[in-house]
Structure 1
């Protein structure tokens, strides 16, 4: 008798193990990674695992319900430093790799994170939030009770704001703390603050000879008014800083070559504002010459795939080859990500690319091999060993028991031609228990960004909707990454134009080619830009019988002033800001067309979303309710813009249940 797998549920989110951050040991015969799960208390816990490449089972290094991550090996491999919140805040802990208990290294008042060893193994460099005038030698971590009391006291005090960039979705309201780079001398047991400017500094790398570090920051006088990021070289002996870039772009992920003579980084000069594709640059330290290795390579560098089962950081490049003749990186192209190699003759070669999502990698120089993190539409994640020209060898078997239990639907790939000569890529999921001859309701999903990409990755929300009996279509309209610079730029200044036409064309294509879709039971949903587009759709067509808009934009005039990115994003994406042409911004605003809405609309919004603040949802709800339209509004306390991806697990499940409830009611 054939075993029938059950349908996926919203609660299954708690059963999915998410892997990240593969890191080879210094001798190359093993690697570590981070495993993140949702525990019985509905909280995230992350632990470190170690696996020899010749063995089939990993060994768990850390335990408990804490978040352990960002491991870095000492050069001799005998010790490792990692980040853990087991004491209450993220702090640095050190452990002997041959066994024993970890001991706490830092007790910084605001935590410490992102550690890295100097090449001689005598010091550890890390980042910390430091208040003006703080002494890094005398940092004391507050107890949980003291932290709670401090938070309560802060709530009673007025907040003085004197900067344009005074809040962000990831940090909330800013204060006088900035990210500074700290060096800890293990022998002397002393700290040295390496950066002091009143801006955030992002540590990048330490030179092979241990004399320099790389960091990224905006040290311009007008930093508060700019969205720019330069690279700097800091001499650890003299603490002198040298600016490497020109002050007119955004640069990051900088890495020294093995010899220390060159630096590779990602970046661009904002030629297309926020839609600009990243490029790979190499700097010759001696001459100051900058070379672009990906000129003419019309592909986005890094991982632009969106999903809801990715937590933790993983390396996407650039990473130097052992002979310094090549640089490895992940790039995003036509619905998938792959591992690429760029050489100094500006040739770019695909080392590995398939119908899947490479979310991270680790390069091992001695064996010239890789560990790849891979997700597919039917498998959340696993690690594989890879050598150039060879097949993948699976190392982990994560989520095997879960996948034996539940039915996972493999999407059908669609390529849809447009009237103006473009090609739209999309994916269609048939419903759980699909039977020929039956008609099924349909849901269109629209991603956020808009400069992101749906792709060949596992997506719990899509699988859930298919499990509930819906045909699910998700596509990449113009504005998405993965299809070249002109395609990703095509949405700017045209929100609700060509992008809207692309989505409607995709729906028409699905109806024409899949007779099992019930054209009278169509639904639509999306978040962020996808929420904007959902609002736009219901204000411009009544073909959908139900819609769910999430963390959306409804009014560009107010978005300019309330979003943490509004003051520049509005200009970048629409072509002007509030002060330049408010009438045009109103034309782009879904709120203008609210009287046209006949589709029952559910509005979902996090109450502390500073990217698309909740007033955007409030305005839309009040207008629709005032007009006696069919609308409901669900507010998620404590939730920010990342609710669907990394928010509180209970809230994430509640969100999914609300989406399913609405579509079940109206479709």
Structure 2
């Protein structure tokens, strides 16, 4: 049997965005693939019976997504980027038959498309979405910016524009912008079940308080605040016409706090239902072969269904108005998205460390796989990670895993690659990662862990504010020390390290604080928290919270620089490859440039690879050819410095 190859990245099929049809035992989903020949992605909407039969493709555009079904189950609305279209098209397809018909075009991306009562759809976009899209020459365009944030990763320069809520009358073809103060940035709009009123989640002052989102109720032109002071709202869903389940966060703890579920009523009651359940309420596990999102929570028959990341797995749970929480589904893997029908039918997408995403149904206490889009992997030898736990020097347990090569021999010594996740509030666990399987198949032992700062644990575990590079660094190094002493097949003279985003920061930090690693690859990293503060879409509030403990860098310059890898660049002895995207506005390209420049000025071994027209999501949703080149660059760097194999001697990847 074959092992996983680098070029297998093109074979994965991603599925998600599941929707049951009303009054029917069928469901819709989005299927996404890579088109290697044309270097692009293709996504379409498919339909299948809950019994696993009658699977077929429903739409045939190259980029169809966001399916929304009318309450009577007779019409499908969806978004699409068709070849000749300059913007985003809203399409209508009757289930009774007929071709999809474009009923509106928007010049800006629209999000949160959902039904909003009789003959109406609601969505969020920028006010310019109703204008005809114009293609301006780059050398003629001038950006005039008067407020922050003025850029966003994946969107580019937004010029400080604020999002608004809209309603589209599907019969008249008319789009109406809902009244809102120009300075307010609307995150979401959700209409009540009877369609007579709606709530918005909005940032009232993105410049002064960018992490605070408030829940408002609007009825007959009257706007009423529903969320208390100091509580930021992440999501809301109606329980009935007078109550809502909301996912909220204590803004005083900001990014380190796990969210909680509350019940909000239109008469001002706001009750925390999960005081004793300090766990992230969404899927926080890392995977590089997803590509399609979907539902993370839903109200069905007065119960609020939601995904929860508990340590290294994602479960489906439900909560009642009295705070009682029940586990609906635990597959010991990663549930990515789901849907539950009114009669209790359940479908979900899931992966495990050895199997990529597929769609499953859950009935009578058993799960059954409904799709086999990634069945090609059955012909490959897949490595299964082995979990181990390390008691850190302060007594906390750290979850860790080791992934051996498929042809592993206990009497052989292997080079090791330590992988560090981003976030820092994400997590590794029971989800599939192509990169890990590829590295194992190439003869490397892969080690990964969830150090302090990770998701999946309580808020105290996640809180490393003002102490980046301290306890988190110790956790990682103590995991490596344990592994070297415990696993006799590890070659301690051939250790490598890599990571992206926060993992890139930690890679930069590690090589400035130890020389035990013989090769390192830093990806979409942070090297200087002062420059990160003002050159990225989240820097001015994320850095204040995580690094400055609510203070900007001009008030705490020593604190910011103490936690910046650039401060320790002269200590670096490890050959370092830096990979970055030119349009990355989450961790901007100067972060890699200044670290690389300093290393070369010091005469250190370093290489910088820059990807044009890519953003922070290069490894997950970049152009297919760029994703392949990134993997190849990473692999060749470790082959060179951990095995002595020159790039010219490395096999070229198959496409």
Other-structure match for 2:648: none
Query: 2-side partners of 1:344 and 1:111: how far apart?
Result: 35
Other-structure match for 1:75: 71
Other-structure match for 1:357: 334
Write out aligned runs for 1:47-62 (5 A): 47-62=44-59
Instruction: List per-residue Cα deviations over 1:245-302 (Å, max 9, x = no partner).
Output: 2353321321111x322111111122322111011111122x3211111111021111
How many angstroms does 1:493 deviate by?
1.7
Q: 1:231 aligns with which of 205, 215, 221?
A: 215
| 1:187 matched to 2:185 | no
| 1:620 matched to 2:612 | no
Query: 2-side partners of 1:127 and 1:158: how far apart?
Result: 26
Tell me if the contact between 1:106 and 1:112 (Cα under 8 Å) persists in the aligned partners: no
1:155–1:253: structure 2 CA closer, same or farther, 3 Å change rule?
Answer: farther
* SS of equivalent to 2:366: coil
Tell me if the contact between 1:228 and 1:247 (Cα under 8 Å) persists in the aligned partners: no
Other-structure match for 1:540: 513
| 1:437 matched to 2:411 | yes
* SS of equivalent to 2:212: coil
| 1:104 matched to 2:109 | no
1:435–1:57: structure 2 CA closer, same or farther, 3 Å change rule?
Answer: farther
Q: 1:273 aligns with which of 241, 249, 254?
A: 254
How many angstroms does 1:113 deviate by?
4.5
Tell me if the contact between 1:409 and 1:430 (Cα under 8 Å) persists in the aligned partners: yes
Query: 2-side partners of 1:520 and 1:28: how far apart?
Result: 61
Other-structure match for 1:508: 481
How many angstroms does 1:537 deviate by?
0.7
Tell me if the contact between 2:88 and 2:106 (Cα under 8 Å) persists in the aligned partners: no
Number of positions where the alignment pairs a residue of Structure 1 with one of Structure 2:
636
User: Which segment is superposed worse, 477-486 or 241-250?
Assistant: 241-250
How many angstroms does 1:311 deviate by?
1.6
Q: 2:272 aligns with which of 292, 296, 303?
A: 292
Tell me if the contact between 2:230 and 2:252 (Cα under 8 Å) persists in the aligned partners: no
* SS of equivalent to 1:628: coil
Other-structure match for 2:651: none
* SS of equivalent to 1:392: strand
Query: 1-side partners of 2:612 and 2:525: how far apart?
Result: 16
Query: 1-side partners of 2:515 and 2:162: how far apart?
Result: 49
Other-structure match for 2:645: none
Instruction: List per-residue Cα deviations over 1:568-604 (Å, max 9, x = no partner).
Output: 2222112243111212222211111112111111111
Q: 1:308 aligns with which of 258, 274, 288?
A: 288
- Unpaired runs of 5+ in structure 1? none
Other-structure match for 2:196: 211
Tell me if the contact between 1:164 and 1:225 (Cα under 8 Å) persists in the aligned partners: no
Query: 2-side partners of 1:184 and 1:341: how far apart?
Result: 32
How many angstroms does 1:202 deviate by?
2.9
How many angstroms does 1:118 deviate by?
3.0
Other-structure match for 2:362: 386
1:104–1:665: structure 2 CA closer, same or farther, 3 Å change rule?
Answer: same
Tell me if the contact between 2:188 and 2:202 (Cα under 8 Å) persists in the aligned partners: no
Tell me if the contact between 1:22 and 1:31 (Cα under 8 Å) persists in the aligned partners: yes
1:373–1:578: structure 2 CA closer, same or farther, 3 Å change rule?
Answer: same
How many angstroms does 1:165 deviate by?
1.3
Write out aligned runs for 1:336-347 (5 A): 336-347=313-324
Other-structure match for 2:622: 647
Q: 1:16 aligns with which of 9, 12, 18?
A: 12
Instruction: List per-residue Cα deviations over 1:357-386 (Å, max 9, x = no partner).
Output: 0111101112x2311211111111111112
| 1:255 matched to 2:234 | no
How many angstroms does 1:71 deviate by?
0.7
Query: 1-side partners of 2:384 and 2:318: how far apart?
Result: 30
Write out aligned runs for 1:524-563 (5 A): 524-563=497-536
Write out aligned runs for 1:368-407 (5 A): 368-387=344-363, 390-400=365-375, 402-407=376-381
Tell me if the contact between 1:526 and 1:550 (Cα under 8 Å) persists in the aligned partners: yes
| 1:37 matched to 2:33 | yes
Other-structure match for 1:202: 187
Tell me if the contact between 1:441 and 1:522 (Cα under 8 Å) persists in the aligned partners: yes
Tell me if the contact between 2:227 and 2:270 (Cα under 8 Å) persists in the aligned partners: no
Instruction: List per-residue Cα deviations over 1:219-269 (Å, max 9, x = no partner).
Output: 24x65543211112223xx33322222353321321111x32211111112
1:294–1:431: structure 2 CA closer, same or farther, 3 Å change rule?
Answer: same
How many angstroms does 1:28 deviate by?
4.1
| 1:638 matched to 2:613 | yes
Query: 1-side partners of 2:320 and 2:121: how far apart?
Result: 32
| 1:123 matched to 2:129 | no
Query: 1-side partners of 2:145 and 2:110: how far apart?
Result: 26
Query: 1-side partners of 2:208 and 2:156: how far apart?
Result: 17
Instruction: List per-residue Cα deviations over 1:20-59 (Å, max 9, x = no partner).
Output: 1111111141111111111131201111010111233511
| 1:420 matched to 2:394 | yes
Tell me if the contact between 1:114 and 1:126 (Cα under 8 Å) persists in the aligned partners: yes
TM superposition score normalised by structure 1: 0.92
Other-structure match for 1:567: 540
User: Which segment is superposed worse, 275-284 or 342-351?
Assistant: 342-351
- Unpaired runs of 5+ in structure 2? 643-655
* SS of equivalent to 2:619: helix
* SS of equivalent to 2:287: coil
Query: 2-side partners of 1:589 and 1:178: how far apart?
Result: 32
